[in-house]
Structure 1
Amino acid sequence: MKRIALYHLETLTWIARLGTFQAAAERLHTTQPAISARVREVEDQLGIALFRREGRRMVLTARGRLLIDSCEPLWTGLEQALLDISDFAGASGMIRIGSGEIAAASCLPAFIQAVERDMPGVSMEVELDLTARMLQLLLTGARDLVFLAGPVASPNIRTQPIGALHLAWVAGRAVAQAGGFARPLPVWSLPDPSPIHGAMRDALAQQGVAARSINSCNNVRTLVEIVANGGGAAVLPETMVRGEIASGRLVEILPRPDRMLHFEAAIRAREQEPLVLELFRRTAGLQIDPG
């Protein structure tokens, strides 16, 4: 019998999951040459070519695809068995999480705290970004689990709803006292294609008011400061401006839009790693705005 080690199965599985040697190397915390060397070891043991070069890309041969498709359920089954025995308390590894600013300020801290408590061997890398960018990183394998504004419809993404937020038209106190949209105001929003940007444009049309200009910023906290200091008006998630409204620093100057901002947790549709699937399962208990 050929001597194929477990780390060979793991390497082949991650190449299959992520599509490239480089992505597999990043996931396994090694280098691309190390991944290439492992593949060569398997090829030498079996006496077959698993990949062939096409330009700068390495493409699976037919026999290579057959082997990797066979290896993936073997490795996944082993991972699942070991994790089931320990009820995931013995889980280890790095999980890369992407989140929008709103989810990061709401449900994400409690989620991370629960993972740290229940799975002390798991490390987490969290990066904040806009929805479009997070989807791209998820699909390329650079993120394992993302929290984003939705709804997102894609055959390559599996999603779990985690709640919705009301939106509010707000401006600083001085702008409100001057009549708000009685005259055209500068309007601020997250950049297109953010769902908030679309909700802002829908709300302008629904209310029949004119914007003097439409401006964008990719940070909600910065948007709050801009409008609070008299820079115009904005449609923002009510939960993010609740304190400023209560203090009078911001004032609601138009009725709240009918459209709510929905949020989802998402993983790749073909995700097979048991740890990622378990964390995704746990997102069903989250609520974007528990307050």
Structure 2
Amino acid sequence: MKRLAIYHLETLLWIARLGTFRAAAERLNTTQPAISARVKEMEDQLGVALFRREGRGMVLTAKGRDLVKDFEPLWAGFERALFKASDFAGATGVVRIGAGEIAAASCLPGFVAQVEQDLPGVTLELELDLTARMLQQLLGGTSDIVFLAGPVASPGIRTAAIGSVRLVWVASRATAQAGGFANPLPVWSIPSHSPLHGVMRESLAQHGIAPPTIATCNNVRTLVEIVLAGRGAAVLPETMIRAELASGALVEVLPRPKRQVRFEAAIRSTESDPLILELFRRASALRIDP
């Protein structure tokens, strides 16, 4: 029997999942030299090379790929058994979560609070970004769970719908009183790879409006401030501007778009980490504020 510890095989799996020794070191809260030492210990014990150098990187050999393929389901079963026995109370680790501003402002705070209460050993790393980049980060292994504006169709991800948000066309009170879209009115929007941008263009086409300019900003809260300052109109999620609508600082200047923006929680379709799967199960039960 080869003298390999569980942490050796865990290290091998994370290198295979994330693609580099450095990423595995960050995931396992250790150093790259420590990861290299573990790999050398495995290769010495097994008497085979698990990695070979390609350019400036390291890739799995055929023997390394076979070991990962055979061990991964065993490791997942081992983790599931331990977590099930403790109802996940003893779970530890870092989980990287990506979210858009709308999800972050509505369902995400409750999700974070629940995880902190139920799983105190789990550390969450949150990053706000746009859907296109979050999808790339998820598929690239640098995020574990993401909250996307969708629907998103990709063979590499598994999704669960968490609700939709209503959208409204708004401008400042002064802009609306000056005639709104009856005059040439600039439009502001999230960039083109966001579903909100698509809804904006569809709505303008339906109403036969060709604005003099369509400017973009990748931050919804900044868009709200731009519109409040009288710089144009924008289609925005109602959930983020209810106070401004109630006070009259923002006024609706076109009928509300029929299409709402749907939100989804997503993980990689190949995800096998029991902790990630448990958090995805919890995320799937969320309902975003419409």
Q: Which moved more, 1:245-254 or 1:72-81?
A: 72-81
2:281 maps to 281
- Large movers: runs of 4+ above 2 Å: none
SS in 1 for 2:3: coil
Q: Which moved more, 1:32-41 or 1:78-87?
A: 32-41
Assess if the C-alpha contact under 8 Å between 1:175 and 1:230 holds in 2. Answer: yes
SS in 2 for 1:75: helix
1:122 maps to 122
Tell me how far 1:56 sits from its aligned partner: 2.1
1:95 maps to 95
Q: Which moved more, 1:221-230 or 1:51-60?
A: 51-60
Return the letter of the residue paired with 1:235: V
Tell me how far 1:16 sits from its aligned partner: 2.1
Assess if the C-alpha contact under 8 Å between 2:171 and 2:180 holds in 1. Answer: yes
TM-score (structure 1 length as normaliser): 0.97
2:15 maps to 15
Q: Which moved more, 1:234-243 or 1:57-66?
A: 57-66
Return the letter of the residue paired with 2:166: H
Tell me how far 1:112 sits from its aligned partner: 0.7
SS in 2 for 1:132: helix
1:6-155 mapped onto 2 (5 Å cutoff): 6-155=6-155
Tell me how far 1:93 sits from its aligned partner: 0.9
1:254 maps to 254
2:270 maps to 270
C-alpha separation between the residues in 2 aligned to 1:217 and 1:82? 46
C-alpha separation between the residues in 2 aligned to 1:150 and 1:214? 22
C-alpha separation between the residues in 2 aligned to 1:136 and 1:276? 18
Tell me how far 1:62 sits from its aligned partner: 1.2
Q: Which moved more, 1:163-172 or 1:7-16?
A: 7-16
TM-score (structure 2 length as normaliser): 0.97
Q: Which moved more, 1:79-88 or 1:52-61?
A: 52-61
C-alpha separation between the residues in 1 aligned to 2:44 and 2:182? 76
2:166 maps to 166
Return the letter of the residue paired with 1:124: L
C-alpha separation between the residues in 2 aligned to 1:107 and 1:81? 30
Tell me how far 1:32 sits from its aligned partner: 2.2
1:211 maps to 211
Assess if the C-alpha contact under 8 Å between 1:149 and 1:264 holds in 2. Answer: yes
Tell me how far 1:204 sits from its aligned partner: 0.6
Assess if the C-alpha contact under 8 Å between 1:23 and 1:141 holds in 2. Answer: no
Assess if the C-alpha contact under 8 Å between 2:16 and 2:60 holds in 1. Answer: no
How many residue pairs are counted as aligned between the two chains?
Answer: 290
